Structure 1
Amino acid sequence: MLELAPFIEAATPLRALGVVVSQNGRETARHTWEGACRRNIYSASKSFTSAAVGIAIKEGLLSLEERLVDAFSEELPVTVLENLRKATVRDLLTMCLGQPKAFLMGEDRPYYPEKNWVRLALAQPFSYEPGTKFVYNNVGPYLAGILVQRRAGCDLVHYLMPRLFEPMGLRLPTWETDPLGNTFGAGGLFLTMDELHKFGLLYLQKGNWQGRQLVPESWVRESTSKQAENGGHGYGYLFWGGEHGSFRADGKYGQFSILMRDKNAVVTIVAESREADKLLAAVFEHIYCRL
């Protein structure tokens, strides 16, 4: 078994709640500070929306090159700027949509008077040409999730139940909704640490789960490869790049499922940390180097 004591010492004051490590197809370490329960995984939810987009593309429901002005033609602002005209589904996934600042963020969502968040989001400025500037923003993954839901005719939870959740043994999860009842694909999915870990393992296994290809292998590879420069290790399709070529689902306060392909390993953490960056650094300092 992997020695976790140095990581536990570093992670305890950072309010880690649990960590599990798998390598070469088996669990090699686990430690919990609190009992298991479903918790908000915050923006790690975005990576599940990415998976839904990949599945929907395979099913012919949408395309990365589809323009937003066509996909959301009924909810466009009165004046459609040229940058909005250029924006595509791909731009929703890379945080390079062209909007200058974050929108639909957690501290703001309860206070919007407008109930139609698609219309609200598209009415925000598009100051940059899409694909040219990384700005972390909930609008992209929200709209991507909305598009899957509209084309599939059901919410994201029920779209993913037969395609992802049930095959991996996950019971119906709770996922935040917008005022009109649409799944909020940018955040608000509630999972246990082990359920989040299964998702990391699925991606380490190139989208295959017990012999069944749940997410197209090409999509797994593409979405967890650098698609945008972000001043750090790059960004995929709603996955963050990290040290040593790693990619991860990443949520506020330290919800991580980290793919370490060079080690054939996944490290998953849940936490209530105000210093999630330090918690992530501790993973590479005390776990990665021992794999």
Structure 2
Amino acid sequence: MSTKINKNIFGAIDKYNESVKKRISSSGSALVIMKDNKIIHEWYSGSHHFGKGARMIDSSSQFNVYSARVTYVGLAVAVAVFEGYLNLEDKLSDFFSELDSEIVGETTIRHLLTRSTGLKIDGGKVKRVFEPGTNIEGKRPDLLAKIHNISTGKSISEVLIEKVFQPLTWNQSEWMTEGKSTLVCDIHSLQSPPTIRLGSNAGDERNLFVSARELAYWGNLHLYKGMVHDKQVLAKEIFELSTSIQSPSNLPNVHPKFGFLWWIKDNDTCCNYNEMGSELPEGSYQILGASNCSCTVIPEYNTVAVRMNNSLCEIPKEDYSYIEDINTFGNLVVSIIKEL
């Protein structure tokens, strides 16, 4: 690849992201694209909220990444598996004695990581919705965090701060317990005031704030399997584990496949609900958050693409398609990379 890149090549994706920002009533947005271990494009637009005097979005702005945080939980669990604290075939009943063991049955950590437990757990009660490994459900990173704590004696954040954030001097990836000026507010509607979601610093809640650059570095850490500036930060086997398909073999091909909560592009999957763009090569992986942030990793092209927004607004389906949007974004990234 040439060391000098024509910046005009990114015009289409910048314009597209600006249009999405407006369509979903996001006050601010950011984009970072990395290729071959380098940032090749950054774009920042808007402000931290719509109010008077709001800070403008820049490289230090930290967005709440919401469900994108589950890959952080996933990596900590992968470390625990690699270090021998956990096994993917460990039963959930070994960790949640308060739940009816007959209902939990043979459900394992693998099922929990790949969103296929078939269990509905609420308030210490459990019921079975479908058999393990036969369908897809929502994410339960809180349960994984509890299992991790029971098995290792450490929180998710303790492990990641010690093994990733501190060695790499990342200071824009934080589970926030109090506000500060670099945090981007959530927009719920144009009529309601903006908010900032705070919580525990244990790493098990929806309060992980990350800058666009550091979310891109997070994807890049996985892409290069723990190698950063010729230093192996974590064993490559940990990343091979977390970013390869771990879904049970009995999962029907109409359902998407997952690694350690990463959504993985698998050409054998033929589902209608597919968050991976059609142009993304097999083996690409991605995670999305409720505020419209995303991290897409494309190993075939040594590329990571991150997009941030701060909208939690309910948009009518006729005005905005979540699936169409993320598919378009991924396909745009591929089209750009192919031109470089």
Structure 1 residues 130 and 184, CA gap change in structure 2 (3 angstroms): farther
Matching residue of 1:130: 132
**Relative contact order higher in (CA < 8 Å, ≥ 6 apart):** 1
Matching residue of 1:220: 239
**2: CA distance between counterparts of 1:184 and 1:27?**
27
- The 5-angstrom pairing of residues 266-285 of structure 1 reads 266-273=304-311, 275=320, 276-285=322-331
Indicate the larger mover: 37-46 or 213-222: 213-222
3-state DSSP of counterpart to 1:29: strand
**TM-score w.r.t. structure 1 length?**
0.81
Deviation at 1:63, TM superposition (A): 1.6
Matching residue of 1:67: 91
Deviation at 1:175, TM superposition (A): 5.2
3-state DSSP of counterpart to 2:174: coil
Deviations 1:210-235 (A, max 9, x none): 33433432332232233335746532
- Which one has the largest radius of gyration? 2
**1: CA distance between counterparts of 2:176 and 2:125?**
25
3-state DSSP of counterpart to 2:288: strand
Of residues 5, 14, 39 in structure 1, which corresponds to 2:20? 14
Matching residue of 1:204: 223
Deviations 1:158-205 (A, max 9, x none): 2211111112222371258xxx96835364311111111111010110
Of residues 240, 257, 260 in structure 2, which corresponds to 1:234? 257
- The 5-angstrom pairing of residues 1-291 of structure 1 reads 1=5, 3-15=9-21, 17-33=29-45, 34-35=57-58, 36-73=60-97, 76-77=98-99, 79-82=100-103, 84-99=104-119, 120=123, 123-138=125-140, 141-171=141-171, 173-174=174-175, 183=202, 185=204, 187-228=206-247, 231=254, 233-241=256-264, 242=276, 243-245=280-282, 246-273=284-311, 275=320, 276-291=322-337
Contact 1:46 1:186 in 2 (8 A): no
Q: Which residue type is aligned with residue 23 of structure 1? A: K
Gaps of 5+ in 1: 104-116
Q: Which residue type is aligned with residue 133 of structure 1? A: N
Indicate the larger mover: 238-247 or 215-224: 215-224
**2: CA distance between counterparts of 1:81 and 1:175?**
38
Matching residue of 1:108: none
**2: CA distance between counterparts of 1:284 and 1:188?**
26
Contact 1:54 1:216 in 2 (8 A): no
**2: CA distance between counterparts of 1:24 and 1:222?**
22
**TM-score w.r.t. structure 2 length?**
0.70
Structure 1 residues 24 and 237, CA gap change in structure 2 (3 angstroms): same
Gaps of 5+ in 2: 22-27, 46-56, 178-198, 265-275
Structure 1 vs Structure 2 CA RMSD: 2.5
- Larger relative helix fraction: 1
Structure 1 residues 49 and 10, CA gap change in structure 2 (3 angstroms): same
Contact 1:22 1:267 in 2 (8 A): yes
Contact 2:32 2:39 in 1 (8 A): yes
**1: CA distance between counterparts of 2:309 and 2:254?**
25
Structure 1 residues 227 and 12, CA gap change in structure 2 (3 angstroms): same
